[in-house]
Structure 1
């Protein structure tokens, strides 16, 4: 197997926003030729598969401007600079759902779109949920509707394209796998 690395010759930040930055890179390919890469830099995020004691999945419905529609998702949010993913997960769970959890376990971390972005999502499973009396509030530009649905309903939401994002579909499939393994 040969070397597949691309050497960065030059990198220029051409946009820096509140959440992402865009870099245009000149690279040397493994065959010695040159090419350009457009790379989005992202601070990373967390997502929380929160399951109630009666096996309901806690979801939020929110409008996603990039899609021009609402979708139903597991709670999630961007890491603040230097923030530990587990602390971020607890914060986002409380802000978006009003729940706190007794048990929080990292399930997996994955890159969302490695062809052009370095965003990594840390997916946690939260159990032992209790509603907080005075939970932290959503960000001022964030609006959500809370839903608690069964696994069967979540599978139907995927079929109906109400759930239409990778992190949530991944979480639902994880629960399906756990259910199948428990039946063995």
Structure 2
């Protein structure tokens, strides 16, 4: 297996509004030993965490539904997307971040989470590593309505769905979010629900 030598020559900031878009020029050593100069753009939005809450007794999962502009621009006629609860790490570690995001978005206060894996979600253009978690929930953990933070412009609907219905929604195309599909399939493969 060939591991190329990489030398970054220059990094230019193209946009620094919501997140940072960089243009990076670098040299790369190819398999044949020659060196080539390339330029690529990379979007740096920070790293994130995602969680799928599940209840073994009721056979249900907690998902969220909210407007996502990029999906609207790319053909999603309503722009609404059903997703597992997620958020950016900011200055927190992944576990603390996902506990905070779970309470803000879903209204469930959880204390125990299980880290299942990490993944790059769009490595051709985005730097983000996403930390994936699962956690059991029960009705008594519901401490608030959820819905996200108004100051962050969040308007999140909380959905409690039978696990089999959520899987059927993947098959029908109602659930099209990659991180959510990955976590639903994780529960299925591990026979958790």
1:70 alignment counterpart: 80
RMSD of aligned residue pairs (Cα, Å): 2.0
Out of 41, 50, 61, which is 2:65 matched to? 61
2:103 alignment counterpart: 94
Out of 47, 52, 75, which is 1:49 matched to? 52
2:163 alignment counterpart: 151
Q: 1:128 to 1:145 in 2, by over 3 A?
A: closer
1:3 alignment counterpart: 3
Q: Does the 8 Å CA contact 1:51/1:126 hold for their aligned counterparts?
A: yes
Secondary structure of 1:23 counterpart: strand
Q: 1:135 to 1:121 in 2, by over 3 A?
A: same
| 1:23 and 2:26 aligned | no
Q: Structure 1: which 4+ aligned runs deviate by more than 4 Å?
A: 133-137
Give the unaligned 5+ runs of structure 1: none
The alignment's TM-score, normalised by the length of structure 2, stands at 0.85
Determine the C-alpha separation between the residues in 2 that align with 1:177 and 1:102.
24
Secondary structure of 1:103 counterpart: coil
Determine the C-alpha separation between the residues in 1 that align with 2:3 and 2:112.
43
Determine the C-alpha separation between the residues in 1 that align with 2:58 and 2:111.
15
The alignment's TM-score, normalised by the length of structure 1, stands at 0.89
User: Number of matched residues?
Assistant: 179
Q: Does the 8 Å CA contact 1:96/1:144 hold for their aligned counterparts?
A: yes
TM alignment of 1:29-178, pairs within 5 A: 29-30=28-29, 31-52=34-55, 53-68=57-72, 69-80=79-90, 82-129=91-138, 130-133=141-144, 138-140=149-151, 141-178=153-190
Q: Does the 8 Å CA contact 1:60/1:144 hold for their aligned counterparts?
A: yes
